[in-house]
Structure 1
Amino acid sequence: MWAILARLLMASNTLRFLQMDNSKEKRMSGIEPNRPSFVVYLLVLALSFTGLAGVSRARIQDIPQNDAQDLEQENEKKEEKKDDKKDEKKGLPLKSDRKVSFTTDEGTWLSLDVSPDGKTIAFELLGDIYTLPIEGGKAKLIDGGMSFDSQPRFSPDGQWIAFLSDREGSENIWIMHPDGTGVKQVSKDSNSEFASPSWDPRGKYVYVSKTHFGIGPREIWMYHVDGGTGIQITKSKPTPTTKREDRTSVMGVVASSDGRYLYYAERRRDFSYNSMFPLWQIKRKDRKTGEEDTIIEQPRSAMRPGLTPDGKFLLYVTRHETESGLRLRNLETGEDHWVRYPVTRDDQEAI
């Protein structure tokens, strides 16, 4: 290769010498001489790159076949890892920079539940979940961190607590044991908001009100504790021709002890400013026949139903004048009376 390059360089020098001699004659005749040709240099460069390419091919071909296969497999694994990283969930992106400690003996608009044996209260405070003896004492943190966890509900056997959490980046239903262990995700929606979870009597399903992000009607869904896409129970738009002002929103569902009936608060029409009372009324749905009827109406709304274990009484929230209170309805006789007034004011206009 180098011998060929040397000969080409010698030929180039000879060509330059001949061109210089010719230029003298051209000057004498008044003709401007031409510049030396670069053809030879282009040939030299081309041969040089050809030689380098040949060396590169030779080096690749010199790699043993087994090593080449190993290299190819290694590259494939790297690509698979990249794909896995794209698919894996990263959860909440925020990391805590500092911790804030405080001591308190009260909270506002707490969501709480009492265990079936009547010994323990589970409640949320600032996005963390605590348990507390029913007779009072020191609260125990069972679930905390950067995620916002809320609305704990004991299962019928008291072995699980259902709650809402955004720990995977979007709000979903989760369950855990009362001591905070065994945390498990139930629903896996990526663009929904949930409210008021509750259990079916067998402890196999969790009922919940669900809507997409933003202000819109809520519908009842049920999810099996082992996961799945869920089953829709109510529809805000039962027919394609249902007008927007006739769509309903449903919240606060509870099931009867035999699982046949569902009780919930229903609001007709979406959220709006300067709404007129009543906004919410309590409905009962027969899961066997599909029939739905209104069982409690109040001038200033009725909401957030809760059943006694024997299913004979229904506790609910209503508003009197400017305050909210608790009333108890005997489902057999229809008798209705105040239990507690006032309590923490409801926020029915905002939902």
Structure 2
Amino acid sequence: MSQPAVLRFAAACAVGALAMVPSVLGQGGTYPSARTGGNYMHNYYFPPAPSSTPWAPAWSPDGKWIAVAMSGSIWKVDPAGGVAHEMTYDGKYHSMPAWSPDGNWIIYTADDGGKTLQLAIANVATGESRALTNDAFIYTDPVFSPDGSRVAYVSTKPNGFFNVYIRPIKGGQWAGDEVAVSTDSKFRNSRLYFGVEDLHITPAWTRDSRQLLLVSNRGVPLGSGNIWLAPAAAGGMHDAQSVVAEQTLYRARPDVSVDGRRFVYSSTRGTADQFSNLYVQPVTGGEPYKLTFFEHDAFHPRWSPDGEWIAYIDNREGLPQLALLEVYGGANRIVRIADRRWKRPMGVLSVRTVDERGQATGARIHLTASDGKFYAPADAYARVSAAGDRVFHSAGEFQVELPVGKTKLTIVKGFEVVPQDAEVDIAANEVTRAQVGLKRMTDMSAKGWHGGSTHVHMNYGGNLHNTLENLMMMSDAEDQDIVLEQVANKDNRILDYQFFIPGGGPHPLSRKDMVLVVGQEYRPPFWGHVFMFGLRDHLISPFTTGYEGTAIESLYPSNTDMLRKAR
């Protein structure tokens, strides 16, 4: 049973009322109408609910603003100064904005907490929003046609599988029935991580409003699929042609240039890059040209209306951030959010978590604000667990902007510390400070038993560019004594191999109270996955076997063969 949190408030700031409250664990679900895709779809494809930093940029038609998703709302950001204005807000998590060509409307997705994703639209002038869909299915990736008469989007309607639809729109309302560009289709067998049903996702219009670029794994054995060019009409996928054939993982998201001749997309070029970089290619097919050469990820690219800039999401500093790339010239910069101008009363909660000695200590934070939604600090990575818990990790202190009213907290630090529940009152334009004491119920390490995680892949989520230092912070927040990071493949890519140090012992970042070891996971789909730690000289290659359609589609070597190599 959790105990009431011990809070002490700074005299100079607003005092928050504290009470023992029910836990806020278990806050949502995992999109039951999505019958294919699995964990990687949730990590790489569905919009974060919410993202603590900008997500899914979309230019205004005049090029003066960039719409983004952030903190559960749609915002418009001044790319020159970084001032962000909140444009939409309600009880759902908003994302994936797209501006109408006349600048009057923004269509976006509305997530009800992991059950469904719906479409909504906002009047830019009045700020009023209305729902466009309201059922049990998923709707995402909305984008206006260049002539403004139609919207292309993705839905799991009617059978739970992902298809592209087009629907007429006028004056912010549907103006006709939808037509299905793609329909349910199947691969010859169930694909590793992707199943038997085909995906059709991320549509992008050509400039004449007559065709769509989209991503589909129709006929593709591994990954989320190729980029296809299809007629923007009912059944258009039957006449589609593949214009990029490579292994993708939901990141491609093509966008056609202003002149209509080329498109930008995010890619790892199959296995050429560990990270997603930006590429351009002719719309009708051809050889890709690489625009960025990052050792981090760049994705969600969108051309500016004048064709001079590409807005995209960049995680060079860890968290996803809004960035700009000059198309001709190569200038590149992060658009830092200098000020968040909310459309509703907000306050600030500042929390310090301490151990029994009064020293700051890391923890996992579960937070539900007065509006029933989750918020995370601008410098923290917002996460959603498989159980639907929305959390972030703190190194011991954090600040977060919250709506006025009672905020509920559950603060957790592993299995040996008593979880703490608290309720704090947030006042408008005030800083409420709280200190939460954590009490250890037992110390298993002192008894010779050490807890930790033997199975960690720190960059499998895709959005966060994780480092060993940040992994240690997260592990400390979970009260782990042992952290076994594993270099491994994701499809044909090998992730985190640069962190391996020969010898097999503790990594130099290890602490007296927390040991970090970098090893390897060998991941053949037929034989099963095995761990390899204590490697004295090098990582063992290949990192997997048996992947359909690749040169390593073989049952040899077996796990026994590879373990002999690792001895």
Q: TM-score range by the shorter chain?
A: 0.5 to 0.7
The alpha-carbon deviation at position 162 of structure 1 amounts to 0.7
The alpha-carbon deviation at position 345 of structure 1 amounts to 6.4
- For residues 116 and 201 of structure 2, the distance between their equivalents in structure 1, rounded to whole angstroms, comes to 20
* 2:138 aligns with one of 193, 203, 206: 193
Q: Does 1:327 align with 2:279?
A: yes
Q: Which range is displaced more, 220-229 or 304-313?
A: 220-229
Q: Which residue of 2 aligns with 1:221?
A: 165
* 1:234 aligns with one of 182, 189, 194: 182
- For residues 229 and 54 of structure 2, the distance between their equivalents in structure 1, rounded to whole angstroms, comes to 26
TM normalised by structure 2 equals: 0.37
Q: Which residue of 2 aligns with 1:293?
A: 241
- For residues 204 and 218 of structure 1, the distance between their equivalents in structure 2, rounded to whole angstroms, comes to 23
- For residues 287 and 222 of structure 1, the distance between their equivalents in structure 2, rounded to whole angstroms, comes to 8
Q: Which residue of 1 aligns with 2:199?
A: 249
- For residues 174 and 109 of structure 1, the distance between their equivalents in structure 2, rounded to whole angstroms, comes to 19
The alpha-carbon deviation at position 300 of structure 1 amounts to 5.1
Question: Cα 1:344–1:201, aligned 2, differ >3 Å: closer, same or farther?
Answer: same
Contact kept? 2:256, 2:283, Cα under 8 Å: no
Contact kept? 1:246, 1:268, Cα under 8 Å: no
Q: Which residue of 2 aligns with 1:315?
A: 264
Q: Secondary structure at the match of 1:192?
A: coil
What letter corresponds to residue 155 of structure 1 in structure 2? S
Question: Cα 1:341–1:280, aligned 2, differ >3 Å: closer, same or farther?
Answer: farther
Q: Which residue of 2 aligns with 1:143?
A: 88
- For residues 97 and 65 of structure 2, the distance between their equivalents in structure 1, rounded to whole angstroms, comes to 12
Contact kept? 1:187, 1:223, Cα under 8 Å: no
Question: Cα 1:340–1:107, aligned 2, differ >3 Å: closer, same or farther?
Answer: farther
Contact kept? 1:312, 1:330, Cα under 8 Å: yes
Q: Which residue of 1 aligns with 2:253?
A: 304
The alpha-carbon deviation at position 152 of structure 1 amounts to 0.6
Question: Cα 1:242–1:230, aligned 2, differ >3 Å: closer, same or farther?
Answer: farther
Question: Cα 1:252–1:109, aligned 2, differ >3 Å: closer, same or farther?
Answer: farther
What letter corresponds to residue 222 of structure 1 in structure 2? I
Q: Secondary structure at the match of 1:303?
A: coil
Q: Which range is displaced more, 229-238 or 122-131?
A: 229-238
Question: Cα 1:143–1:279, aligned 2, differ >3 Å: closer, same or farther?
Answer: closer
Q: Does 1:153 align with 2:98?
A: yes
The alpha-carbon deviation at position 243 of structure 1 amounts to 6.8
Q: Secondary structure at the match of 1:321?
A: coil
Question: Cα 1:331–1:149, aligned 2, differ >3 Å: closer, same or farther?
Answer: closer
Q: What's the RMSD between the two structures over aligned residues?
A: 3.5
Question: Cα 1:300–1:138, aligned 2, differ >3 Å: closer, same or farther?
Answer: closer
The alpha-carbon deviation at position 210 of structure 1 amounts to 0.8
Contact kept? 1:171, 1:193, Cα under 8 Å: yes
Q: Which range is displaced more, 319-328 or 279-288?
A: 279-288
The alpha-carbon deviation at position 242 of structure 1 amounts to 7.9
- The alignment of Structure 1 onto Structure 2 pairs a total of residues equal to 237
The alpha-carbon deviation at position 278 of structure 1 amounts to 4.4
Q: Which residue of 2 aligns with 1:91?
A: none
Cα displacement string for residues 95-117 of structure 1 (whole angstroms, at most 9, x for unaligned residues) = xxxxxxxxxxx955711111122
- For residues 68 and 140 of structure 2, the distance between their equivalents in structure 1, rounded to whole angstroms, comes to 15
- For residues 248 and 152 of structure 2, the distance between their equivalents in structure 1, rounded to whole angstroms, comes to 26
- For residues 54 and 84 of structure 2, the distance between their equivalents in structure 1, rounded to whole angstroms, comes to 17
Q: Secondary structure at the match of 1:298?
A: coil
Matches within 5 A, 1:68-147: 108=53, 110-147=55-92
The alpha-carbon deviation at position 212 of structure 1 amounts to 5.3
Question: Cα 1:243–1:230, aligned 2, differ >3 Å: closer, same or farther?
Answer: farther
- For residues 109 and 137 of structure 1, the distance between their equivalents in structure 2, rounded to whole angstroms, comes to 11
The alpha-carbon deviation at position 177 of structure 1 amounts to 2.5
What letter corresponds to residue 122 of structure 1 in structure 2? A
What letter corresponds to residue 261 of structure 2 in structure 1? K
Q: Does 1:344 align with 2:297?
A: yes
Contact kept? 2:98, 2:107, Cα under 8 Å: yes
The alpha-carbon deviation at position 145 of structure 1 amounts to 3.3
- For residues 129 and 86 of structure 2, the distance between their equivalents in structure 1, rounded to whole angstroms, comes to 14
Q: Secondary structure at the match of 1:150?
A: strand
Instruction: Choose between structure 1 and 2: higher strand proportion.
Output: 2
- For residues 160 and 266 of structure 1, the distance between their equivalents in structure 2, rounded to whole angstroms, comes to 28
- For residues 178 and 188 of structure 2, the distance between their equivalents in structure 1, rounded to whole angstroms, comes to 24
- For residues 198 and 285 of structure 2, the distance between their equivalents in structure 1, rounded to whole angstroms, comes to 29
User: Max radius of gyration: which structure?
Assistant: 1
What letter corresponds to residue 298 of structure 1 in structure 2? E
Q: Does 1:284 align with 2:229?
A: yes
Cα displacement string for residues 53-91 of structure 1 (whole angstroms, at most 9, x for unaligned residues) = xxxxxxxxxxxxxxxxxxxxxxxxxxxxxxxxxxxxxxx
Sequence identity, in percent?
Answer: 19
Contact kept? 1:268, 1:279, Cα under 8 Å: no
TM normalised by structure 1 equals: 0.58
The alpha-carbon deviation at position 234 of structure 1 amounts to 0.7
Which structure would you say has the larger RCO, counting Cα contacts within 8 Å and 6 or more residues apart? 2
Contact kept? 2:229, 2:284, Cα under 8 Å: no
- For residues 92 and 248 of structure 2, the distance between their equivalents in structure 1, rounded to whole angstroms, comes to 35
- For residues 60 and 225 of structure 2, the distance between their equivalents in structure 1, rounded to whole angstroms, comes to 28
Q: Does 1:203 align with 2:151?
A: no
The alpha-carbon deviation at position 279 of structure 1 amounts to 3.6
The alpha-carbon deviation at position 181 of structure 1 amounts to 2.1
Contact kept? 1:196, 1:208, Cα under 8 Å: yes
The alpha-carbon deviation at position 269 of structure 1 amounts to 8.2
Unaligned residue ranges in structure 1 (runs of 5+) = 1-93, 95-105, 271-275
Q: Does 1:176 align with 2:128?
A: no
The alpha-carbon deviation at position 126 of structure 1 amounts to 2.3
Instruction: Choose between structure 1 and 2: higher helix proportion.
Output: 1
